[in-house]
Structure 1
């Protein structure tokens, strides 16, 4: 078993190392290097409204949103219709809520979620979005236009790690890294902030493996030419993808 990819994995810890270990078992050389970390937030007023069961629909946009919401919830999650942007987040949310969770079947982003039948008629529905601080506003704006009342439960914030970009990019070049797995726009942008300007052309020459059209579009804007969509951010599916290609 082997693969020709030599991959940089930029996911949050500990997911980056878990994926690196799994890919190593199918012959992929990997370097796990998280670029951001997360810190939990406490929005007690929103939490109280959530726990009182005031929302019809609850949407989780990331696994971290579920993880840090769970830390604030000390009993059962309230009854609601639950939704997740992607399959990995769906798995986490299903375990946390012990309730059915819907997610898109192909496009794993806000656009894919908004295409679900449940969100075509949301007039007078109360919707809560579980997300990190400063997340994307497309879900909120679109659902409000469709007649919903939308609130946020911001369960965490992203914090950049103190890293030496020059040292790291030289290390990556010496390791002949030729691909990078990116899990979000925020991580993508931070990678381009971290890597010094003189190495931008090298960075843009890598193959970028991304989970959604939105991340792909941002990568194109930054100058990346070779972009491949992953089937999902679930570790097993990523491993199958590289093992079978």
Structure 2
């Protein structure tokens, strides 16, 4: 099993090292580079003592880490008076490192976050979504329909990374499994593959994704062998790979 890890910098290399430590052959191929945004200064208002925000939602660990850098630079703190919601376990674990205990939905996507807010966070009137340049419009629209005022903080910028034709051909000859953590990554992958043979290879790999929404998007792009993992943490991918390997061994034993 040769695994292509496409998650963004700087977490890509850590994921590769973790997979290798568990005995998997993993190759680093980040599709996106993450850079902190200049709009982080908006956090000053949200984290102020007189803030009127009730709920802070982080859509990724990249949002948390970008914000944390600003929080430390400005010598601020995450107020204990606010409620915090993370899209998944990896994001919540990232926040926990900085003293923030965030709720995590059972279904780790926008639909899951909305359901959790409905069930556990009644009384929220103002929410702020920490995100990249765009995203989570569906969640914002649903919250606004419930009378909740929603604002965004653009925490980071995503810059697509290009790869040579030679590199793509090398992947085609070696890679049979891909880890992808966002629709943007999947879209970029399909854009990079320009030849019929490359496209056939890409659609034929085993694709590991962290959410139901991303699984559905992958299907719309033509992917066939898709595995839904329990979140976007490195261990979620390792557990999925272990299940794939176990299923393959069982099939071989039955022959």
Could you state the TM-score of these two structures normalised by the residue count of structure 1?
Answer: 0.90
Which structure has greater helix proportion? 2
Q: 1:157-168 residue pairs with structure 2 within 5 A? A: 157-164=157-164, 166-168=165-167
CA 83–206 in structure 1, closer or farther in 2 if over 3 Å, else same: same
1:50-78 CA-to-partner distances (Å, cap 9, x unmatched) read 12232100000000101111122132112
1:104-132 CA-to-partner distances (Å, cap 9, x unmatched) read 12x11011111115567756611010000
Structure 2 counterpart of 1:86:
88
CA distance in 2, matches of 1:45, 1:27: 43
SS in 1 for 2:130: strand
1:199-227 CA-to-partner distances (Å, cap 9, x unmatched) read 21211011111001111111111111111
SS in 2 for 1:77: coil
SS in 1 for 2:155: strand
In 1, are the aligned partners of 2:59 and 2:130 still within 8 Å (CA)?
yes
Q: CA shift at 1:16, angstroms?
A: 1.9
Q: Aligned pair 1:100/2:118, yes or no? A: no
Structure 1 counterpart of 2:249:
none
In 2, are the aligned partners of 1:63 and 1:89 still within 8 Å (CA)?
yes
**Aligned partner (choices 48, 61, 64) of residue 62 of structure 2:** 64
Q: Aligned pair 1:131/2:131, yes or no? A: yes
CA 100–69 in structure 1, closer or farther in 2 if over 3 Å, else same: same
CA distance in 2, matches of 1:122, 1:89: 22
Q: CA shift at 1:44, angstroms?
A: 5.6
SS in 1 for 2:97: helix
CA distance in 1, matches of 2:163, 2:32: 10
Q: 1:8-157 residue pairs with structure 2 within 5 A? A: 8-43=4-39, 46-52=42-48, 53-73=51-71, 74-78=75-79, 79-96=81-98, 98-105=99-106, 107-118=107-118, 125-157=125-157
SS in 2 for 1:208: strand
Q: How many residues align?
A: 237
Structure 1 counterpart of 2:250:
none
With 149-158 and 10-19 compared, the bigger mean Cα shift is at: 10-19
Structure 1 counterpart of 2:251:
none
In 2, are the aligned partners of 1:122 and 1:148 still within 8 Å (CA)?
no
CA distance in 2, matches of 1:115, 1:37: 31
1:149-184 CA-to-partner distances (Å, cap 9, x unmatched) read 0000111111012322x2222111232x11101111
In 2, are the aligned partners of 1:123 and 1:146 still within 8 Å (CA)?
no
In 1, are the aligned partners of 2:40 and 2:155 still within 8 Å (CA)?
no
Structure 1 counterpart of 2:211:
212
SS in 2 for 1:187: helix
Where does structure 2 lack aligned partners over 5 or more consecutive residues?
247-255
In 2, are the aligned partners of 1:11 and 1:187 still within 8 Å (CA)?
yes
